[in-house]
Structure 1
Amino acid sequence: MENHPLLPRVEAALDALRPYLVTDGGNVRVANITPEGVLQLEWEGACGACPMSPMTRAGLEDTVKKAVPEITAVEAK
């Protein structure tokens, strides 16, 4: 996974949003990028139990897909 060609661009897109997640006591980690282009994220910290996580995932998906059009969807665990 760490050698995936899209990972640097995905991480750069997520880095733009991480300060907001960290402010609320959470973060997100890339778990996998599937061959179909699905970005699988793992919630960390407070994000794991946050009732707003579906909306946050939608925001992450929008940002990542704009920066990395090869990503077809974002799933969060």
Structure 2
Amino acid sequence: MELIRNLFHRSRQEPEEQGPLYTPVREAISSVQAYARSHGGEIELVGVSDEGDVTIRLRGACRGCPMSEMTLKHGIEEQLRTLVPGVGSIHQVA
């Protein structure tokens, strides 16, 4: 039971990093969230460094999907760079 409680608590923690671009990146991700949800997935913003590097986690059907890398590079990354000047690299974590 303790393990389940810890896992639930971990999933609700604050992002690891909240640089100056955190809020605009979060808003930009919400604009592409509908696409991910239409395929049974979800995009979680893990953090944004002070340098503008973004870390995300793909969840649901997106996790492990063979198309997730293409979605990341040609969907999420392009959208973030268009909507939020100063975004650096985009990293995905498991």
Q: TM-score range by the shorter chain?
A: 0.7 to 0.9
Q: Which residue of 1 aligns with 2:78?
A: 62
TM-score (normalised: structure 1): 0.87
Taking structure 2 as the reference length, the TM-score comes to 0.73
Contact 2:21-2:52 within 8 A present in 1 as well: no
Instruction: Count matched residues.
Output: 77
Give the aligned CA root-mean-square deviation in angstroms: 1.6
SS in 2 for 1:76: strand
Verify the 8 A CA contact 2:48 2:54 in the aligned structure 1.
Answer: yes
Runs of at least 5 residues in structure 1 that lack an aligned partner in the other structure:
none
Q: Which runs of 5+ in 2 are unaligned?
A: 1-14
Larger Rg: 2
Identity of aligned residues (%): 30
Runs of 4+ aligned residues of structure 1 deviating over 4 Å after TM superposition are none
Give the match for residue 35 of structure 1.
50
